[in-house]
Amino acid sequence: MKLARFEVENHRGRPVPRVLGIALAGWLAAGLLVFARWLDTEQMGAAVGAALVFAAGLVDDLAPVGPRGLRNHLRSLASGHMTTGILKLVVTIGSAVLGVALLDRGTGVDRLAAVILVAGTTNVWNGLDVRPGRALKAFILSTLLLVLLDAARMSLVVAVLFPAAVVALWIDLRERAMLGDAGGNMLGFSMGMALAASLPTPALWPSALVAVALNVTAETVTFSRVIEATPPLRWFDRLGRIPD
């Protein structure tokens, strides 16, 4: 398959191949084989879900340019047109249900919150991959916060992805390659599962509502406008990037 098929213009109009997600998926598969003896049912659910949302994102990356944003995808579906965005949504929700079903998260209401959290986090990371390094910085920072909070049940998937994400960050910042929907989905789902497994039960619904609010922001105001209007976020977002 020609590399040009993976290329898309970035925010500066420069063609960049969306292959970092594929590289991260290969690293994850190899890493999980090495640590296979430590994979319990919960970790397997996170790994299988990450693979499914990666595959759905890859289909979207390779598909012709279509509607942008969840609202436009839903409008296309209402008019009788199936889009790769709707496919991603269905696979993401299904993967979240599968992953959460394998977690010990108490009542059905708690599990519903966990599903919303995982699906919402997946889409948040997908929406972050519009500027070099943004999604990877968020993943690296979130992983470090989980470690600081002593998240004993943090997903092995996140732990395996972390060193690869650090390496990929430099490549992304130099605009040599980008995550694409495949990579963004995989990172977001993995982080969502780590949060669903690690957070105390009373924090599930507040966290799920935050994920929903972030998705609404991405669909309306957009993350880029919020970041540009907030000095600390703007500084962190531009850190290491090639100047526009």
Q: Which of 120, 136, 126 has its CA nearest to residue 182?
A: 126
Q: Is residue 22 part of a domain?
A: yes
Q: What is the mean pLDDT of residues 120-141?
A: 94
Q: Let me know if 130 is exposed, middle or buried by CB neighbors in 10 A (0-12, 13-18, 19+).
A: middle
The arithmetic mean of pLDDT across residues 187-193, rounded, is 96
What mean pLDDT is predicted for residues 112-127?
95
- Which pTM does this prediction carry? 0.90
Q: What is the pLDDT of residue 163?
A: 95
pLDDT tens, residue by residue, 46-57: 999 999 999 999
- Going by pLDDT thresholds of 50, 70 and 90, the confidence category of residue 87 is confident
User: Do 166 and 1 touch, CB atoms closer than 8 A?
Assistant: no
Q: Which domain holds residue 142?
A: 15-238
**pLDDT at residue 113, as a whole number:** 96
To which residue do tokens 């090639």 refer? 242
Q: Is residue 144 part of a domain?
A: yes
pLDDT confidence tier of residue 1, bands split at 50, 70 and 90: very low
Q: Alpha-carbon distance 187 to 179, whole Å?
A: 9
Q: Give the integer Cα–Cα distance in Å for 228 and 178.
A: 21
Give a yes or no: residue 139 inside a domain: yes
% of the chain beyond a pLDDT of 70: 88
Q: How many CB atoms lie within 10 A of CB 154?
A: 20
Domain count for the chain: 1
Is residue 199 predicted with pLDDT exceeding 50? yes
Highest mean pLDDT out of 4-13, 37-46, 63-72, 133-142: 133-142
**Average pLDDT of the residues of the chain:** 87
Residue 2: inside a domain, yes or no?
no
Q: Is the pLDDT of residue 66 over 90?
A: no
Instruction: Tell me if residue 8 falls in helix, strand or coil.
Output: strand
Residue 230: per-residue pLDDT: 95
Closest alpha carbon to 76 in 185, 55, 68, 8: 68
Residue 7 located in a structural domain:
no
* pLDDT for position 182: 94
Residue 76's pLDDT band (cuts 50, 70, 90): low
Question: pLDDT tens, 4-32?
Answer: 567 888 888 788 999 999 999 999 999 99
Please state the rounded mean pLDDT for residues 184-193: 96
Is residue 78 scored above 80 in pLDDT?
Answer: no
The answer to whether residue 198 sits within a structural domain is yes
Residue 161 inside a domain? The answer is: yes
Q: Is the pLDDT of residue 204 over 50?
A: yes
Yes or no: say if 130 and 224 are a contact pair by the CB < 8 Å rule: yes
Average pLDDT for 134-159: 84
The token pair that represents 236 in the structure block: 């962190």
Q: Is residue 5 assigned to a domain?
A: no
